[in-house]
Amino acid sequence: MRYITTPIYYVNDVPHLGHAYTTIIADTLARFYRLQGHETRFLTGTDEHGQKIEEAAKVRNFSPKEYADKISLEFKKLWDEFEITYDIYARTTDNRHIEFVKAMFLKMWQKGDIYKDEYEGHYCVSCESFFTKSQLVNDCACPDCGKNTSLLKEESYFFKLSKYQDKILQWYEEKDPILPKNKKNELINFIQGGLKDLSITRTSFDWGINLPKEINDEKHIIYVWLDALFIYVSSLDYGTEGENAKFWPAHVHLVGKDILRFHAIYWPAFLMSADLPLPEIIGAHGWWTRDGEKMSKSKGNVVKPKEVVDVYGLEAFRYFLLREVPFGNDGDFSEAMLINRINAELSNEFGNLLNRIIGMSTKYSGGEILQNEVLKLYKDELDTAKEYLNLAIEFLENLQCNRYLEELFKALSVANLAISKYEPWNLIKENKNNEANALVALCANILAKVSILLSPALPKSCQKVAKALNFEISSQNYEKLIIKNELLNFKANACEALFPKVEKALLSEEKQEIKKEESPKIKIDDFVKIEIKVAKVLDCQNIEGSEKLLKFQLELDNKEVRQVLSGIAKYYKASDLIGKQVCVISNLKKAKIFGFESDGMILSAKSGDKLVLISPEQLVENGSLIG
């Protein structure tokens, strides 16, 4: 059994790119587990209590419940439009959740893990969190979001978080539940700094869950994190023998990195206190920027998921989010990169392979594709593709969505390269019809296997492939084609292009046209600000998880060594560049790319499909200025 959850999204604002990213990862996992034949439940929903909601509602002249209803509906509508296959849409205002939270609070109180005291601390409304003065930035700002905190002093009930410090560390050691792995060390360091007991009720606002009547303290409401986290259990009707109760504990909790501490420290402690099983995996992903800048309404650069989907299609949007960034790293949304993914991968590698198979099989064999001689003639290609498929499964099970897609597209490359290598059109001319038809069957079987494994990410496109080749994407065929590595016969049918090429940017078309008309010129004063120097390549390495980036160590004048990233891996082999001289803009502001610092820009010239590094004609001293 598999139970996957997204965070329950806070209803202080409408859905954004980060919400879509988490939900699409969860949807891909849910579809994958169903494909494997697992009984699966997938939960998403909204977190609707707390001071932030109360204040947001007041500004808009709504009651808190009216405002929560409105925003929660916007999330649900978007996920329905995006065909997200959630099984449970949970809300913290649901009665079953409210009653469950009260029952858990009472159980923890009776166990002696909750006590009453007075709290004084710096409170951040945006993060719903208290901080000590030593944690603040400039004595007043929240260390997480940067907004100013307020000094609060009020009566509160506390949870004995400190009691569970060693047990949480033991859980990390024995079960290794945190993904990506490097996040575990951050959590361990935080815990080893000493966990303080946690304030879990508030009296300064009303919008929340009241304490259980047995405690008889009406002025307190239960603090948002204790309230919100139990939604994962309450929504399964756990403890009431409901049909979903068997799915606890969760197989995967997906969260953003900003709320990992709450899910990986507070949550297991709450569960231990309530004598409930702990989740198997807690996976934390990074944040998204746009064109290298933090998204904000004031900058006008916020990516609205529906606007992108309306222009480029849901499948391309899903693919880009899953493929663009390693899980756990921050990602950058670039329309240019989205278009590149569509054209170079979805159109060229995936869609074009289907077109070639249909075209060749129609011409050579009337659309009949028989696999009987594939193993005899093309076993090496089949074995290579199988290795990529196995890796894809392993990567997805470890939440490495980008590597999962990368391996599947490597398998597609095996088929595309086989066509180029063996040239079936020449085999036909040489009357080697069996070899040509077996080659088509090889490619069709690789495409079918890839489509089965790719269907959790691109369900509609893969169904089009299945229809075109007359096979089914199902748990039965997952067993046959993926687990048992069997081959199928196919009957090819005509099919529209899966991903037509994108000729120009569609979201920013108006801006591009303005730029073309204006053709802005720069003055000599602007040019002389650019410092271009000659540098020697001391070292050059590929970056794991990126097909295009190379990481350079460059020596400039006075033996200064700089790290610079450059997207030229498709054109140069890293080891071939060591010892060469290149030209680099040396006074560019530092940037962070793929999680690595880049201090400069290596110059190159692109002509058609070629890219050439700009280098001095003869050896010159490192650090020589170009001007």
Report the binding-site residues. 124, 127, 142, 145
How far is residue 359's CA from residue 494's CA, in Å, rounded to a whole number?
9
For 118, 212, 273, 293, 569, the CA distances from 156, given in Å and listed in that order, are 5, 15, 19, 40, 57
Nearest to 44 by CA among 97, 95, 89, 99: 89
CA 121 centroid distance within chain = 35
CA angle, residues 292, 296, 301, in degrees to nearest 5: 60
- Residue 429 burial (CB count, 10 A): 10
CB-based contacts of 42, cutoff 8 Å, min separation 6? 3, 4, 5, 26, 27, 29, 30, 85, 86, 87, 88
**Inter-residue contact 144 to 134 (CB < 8 Å):** no
Provide φ and ψ at 11, rounded to 5°: -90, 30
What strands lie across the sheet with 201-202, from one edge to the other? 201-202, 221-222, 209-210
Beta bridge partners of 150: 123
Distance of CA 111 to the CA centre of its chain: 39
Phi/psi for 626 (5° steps) reads -105, 130
b/e per residue 175-206 (b: at least 16 CB within 10 A):
eebbbbeebbeebeeebeeebebbbbbbeebe
E strands within 145-211?
Answer: 150-159, 178-179, 198-199, 201-202, 209-210
Binding residues for Zn(2+): 124, 127, 142, 145
Phi and psi at residue 598, in whole multiples of 5°? -125, 125
CB within 8 Å of 102: residues ≥ 6 apart: 209, 210, 211, 212, 222
Distance CA 487, CA 595 (A): 41
**Helices 433-454/401-422 angle, 10° precision:** 170
Angle subtended by helix axes 17-35 and 305-312, to nearest 10: 60
